[in-house]
Amino acid sequence: MNTQSAPSPQFYLTAPAACPYLPNETERKVFTHLVGPRASDMNDLLTQGGFRRSQNIAYRPACEACRACVSVRILAHEFSPARSMRRIQALNSDIVGTETAARPSAEQFALFRAYLDDRHQKGGMSDMSSLDYAVMIEDTHVNTRVIEYRVRTEGSGIGGTRGELVACALTDLMGDGLSMVYSFFNPKLDRRSLGTFMILDHIRRAHTMGLPHVYLGYWVKGSRKMDYKTRFQPQEHLMATGWERYTPERTPPLDT
């Protein structure tokens, strides 16, 4: 593959495929390659324009008759957790998140497979191998990190025994925020609500770093598995006229 950066990105359109979120709908995506020394700057610009990153590809929906996919970003500086979120933070007070380089490990992959096998048996990633996982983590030309979440144990730290790995997040560090590219967790620990906990931790990290936003990807109204994203208020949605503050119609369940 040619990894030389071009003066300006070239965009391509995928063929129609079944929509993974809404029944009886098809989807198309517009995409470009994120490579070369300008990849991070381009990733920032495209993410702010509603694109998402997957490996060295930036993409966004380009469906002809549907605009259901809406980009979501949390306003980290204004965020205040609801009572239920504070309970989740307290429940996971024994978990430590450690930022590492974007390198895969066998321990991460085992957790990733357990998550897919429990939550996404029929998803597009269901047959990913350890090599596929390694490519997902390492194939990046932007400022990417893996945040590992482990249960704190006696003796953890330098020279001590590392605690159990219970969750991971693949995260891009951008000029205006953190973009949660992909996250996964131990599906047997439902009581901990680890998906919600990781988002809360990213909001905290963004605020501490002086970054205004946490990008959550797409929200699709009517898709129950995406409803949790609108719990994190205040947030903005990317509309035809730009980013607009969103007012939720109801309080969706904390099922992440």
pLDDT per position as a tens digit, 107-134: 999 999 999 998 876 666 767 999 999 9
Q: What is the mean pLDDT of the chain?
A: 90
Q: Which domains, ranges and CATH numbers included, belong to the chain?
A: 12-68 (no CATH), 80-209 (3.40.630.30)
pTM for the structure as a whole = 0.89
List, in order, residues 6 or more apart from 100 with CB less than 8 Å away: 145, 146, 147, 148
98: tokens are 């450690």
**Residue reference for tokens 């607009």:** 244
pLDDT per position as a tens digit, 134-160: 999 999 999 999 999 999 887 655 444
Task: Give the pLDDT score at 7.
Answer: 60
pLDDT per position as a tens digit, 25-69: 889 999 999 999 999 999 999 999 999 999 999 999 999 888 899
Task: Give the pLDDT score at 65.
Answer: 83
